[in-house]
Amino acid sequence: MPNRSTDPLFQLIKSLGKSEKRNFKLYTTRNSGSEELKIVQLFDALDKMDDYDETVLLKKNKSITKQQLSNLKAHLYKQVLSSLRLINDENNIDIQLHESMDQARILYNKGLYLQSLKVLDKMKETARSYNQLTYLQQALFFEKKIEGLHITRSLKNRAEELSKEADEVSCTLSNISTLSNLALQLYGWYIKYGFARNEAEEEAVRSFLIDNLPAKAHQLTGFYERLYLYQSYCWKAFIRQDFLMYYRYTQKWVDIFHESPFMIALESGHYIKGMHNLMGSYFNLGNHQKLSDTLDQFEQFCNSKTVLQNQNNTIQCFIYHTISLLNKHFLSGDFSGGLILVKGIEEKLKEYDLYLDRHRILVIYYKIACMYFGAGDFETTIDYLNKIINWKVELRNDLQCYARLLHLIAHYELGNLQLLEYLAKSVYRFMAKMHNLSVVEEEMFKFLRKALTLSANKLKPEFEKLLDKLKQFENRRFETRAFMYLDVISWLESKINGVAVEIITQQKFQAKKIKPAV
């Protein structure tokens, strides 16, 4: 797993582009004081390092003492941020609104109350246009302060109007806070546990959503209110494995951005995540055509100015584009074609190492492992699964469990029978401890234990028996997750028919294309 540096200054410097580094040098050297020259020296030293090592840093830079280092780093951090602030995107609404508030306060401190109110009026208009209610609230509070302390000869009934405006904004912000908390908590539940494993968990998630919805939630019309409402229902449906409902709410999520296109640049992260979830819903429903079409749209967005001029957007687009591209290959059964992507994916993972969250890396490694498994390369499958198994993180218990189960099957395919009995017991204990055993996994373990004692000519009937059993659970609630993470049915059919998993999957894909898509 990646060896991540946790030093904030080092991470910040490594995130800078060439023009940003050049701007920092110009910004800092405008003064020639000794402290400024030292932070430039520290900047250059950190920029040249591949990994942060304080001992090496001090050894190579004798003019910087250990006692000075902490203060120099703090000063350098502030200076880098200040230099970035000067060259930031002038079209950024957050920055514009911050500047307006700063100007209003400066004018107020000069005693120019009417000019300050004029700036605040423009600020409120901009904030409303872009749904930036927190800035609108700040402007209203400041305006109330001015009106309450000074005679401004403002319009008649201005006090009542200001009070009404402030109350409306506070009510809307309260709804947004409640709904955003709800969406975040449901998403956090999924990140920790994965899908609901039984009726009790499903009911707990359903009740949690209902109990925490604000009054008349479905009548709310604000952009952010609807955004977080749709997200909440999206995560609830996903956890319950109700993929049709998941699709409907991810589509609503994306649609509100298309209704207000200017919000895409303002809330790019939410839009990118919405597109990812929409593509994921098509994958879960097995709709290859819709996934392909939406992926094309997403690729166009990934090459837009909104993404290319923002490093965070670039990284997020890489993650979600990669996952959807791999999913597209899974649906068509083109595992060999999918493997062509792996080298480029690995290079990007290394390039973005400092910025990637562990959950996404786990997902990508698992999908790559499945791709190698489908292509019949079981040794490389095990290599990628070991990256997951040996990485001790408290994330996605379900993914950890299925990585171990696929790891077990890959060893079975390689004929590592001596390892198999030990691994089977180890995996069974792990999954049982996680309370993650479903009927499908139980049947898989029974088969693998039995297969160890059977001769080759007796295996085919056992494969057929297992296939018949598992097909009964293919569309059963709380069992579908096993088939999502691991296409056991196709694997068994490949063993029975004596052909590669890739061929079986491609045959199913071609047969499905003849019928209308879901």
Query: What is the tens place of the pLDDT at every residue in 238-277?
Result: 998 899 999 999 999 999 999 999 999 999 999 999 999 9
- 170 and 134 housed in the same domain: yes
pLDDT at 35: 58
- 74 and 129 housed in the same domain: no
Within-domain flag for 228 = no
pLDDT at 474: 76
Mean pLDDT by 10 residues, the chain (518 residues): 68 88 84 68 90 88 86 91 76 86 94 92 94 94 87 68 90 94 92 80 91 90 96 94 94 97 94 96 93 96 92 94 94 92 94 84 92 94 91 69 85 84 78 69 77 73 85 74 75 87 88 57
Domain around 121: 93-177
- 99 and 80 housed in the same domain: no
Domain boundary, last residue among 86, 102, 125: 86
Within-domain flag for 279 = no
Scored b (16 or more CB within 10 A) or e, 473-505 reads beeeebbbbbbebbbbbbbbbbbbeeebbbebb
User: What Å distances lie between residue 192 and 188, 315, 398, 421, 437, CA to CA?
Assistant: 6, 23, 9, 29, 17
Give CA–CA dist 292/278, Å, rounded.
Answer: 12
What is the Rg, in whole angstroms, of the alpha carbon atoms belonging to the chain? Answer: 28
Q: Global pTM? A: 0.82
Within-domain flag for 45 = yes
DSSP state of 456: G
The two tokens of residue 11 are: 């991470």
Within-domain flag for 109 = yes
pLDDT at 518: 39
Domain boundary, last residue among 33, 64, 86: 86
Within-domain flag for 414 = no
CA atoms within 13 A on the CB side of 457: 0
Question: What number of other Cβ atoms are within 10 A of residue 225's Cβ?
Answer: 22
Within-domain flag for 398 = no
Within-domain flag for 232 = no
Question: pLDDT tens across 189-198, in order?
Answer: 888 777 887 8
Domain boundary, last residue among 18, 51, 86: 86
pLDDT at 514: 54
- 78 and 111 housed in the same domain: no
Give CA–CA dist 182/27, Å, rounded.
Answer: 43
pLDDT at 422: 79
- 75 and 105 housed in the same domain: no
**Alpha carbon 507 to its chain's center:** 33
Give CA–CA dist 246/280, Å, rounded.
Answer: 9
φ/ψ (deg, to 5) at 195: -75, 155
Give CA–CA dist 121/113, Å, rounded.
Answer: 12
- 81 and 125 housed in the same domain: no
Among residues 388, 392, 385, which one has the least CA distance to residue 409? 385
Number of domains into which the chain is organized: 2
Question: What number of other Cβ atoms are within 10 A of residue 75's Cβ?
Answer: 15
Within-domain flag for 308 = no
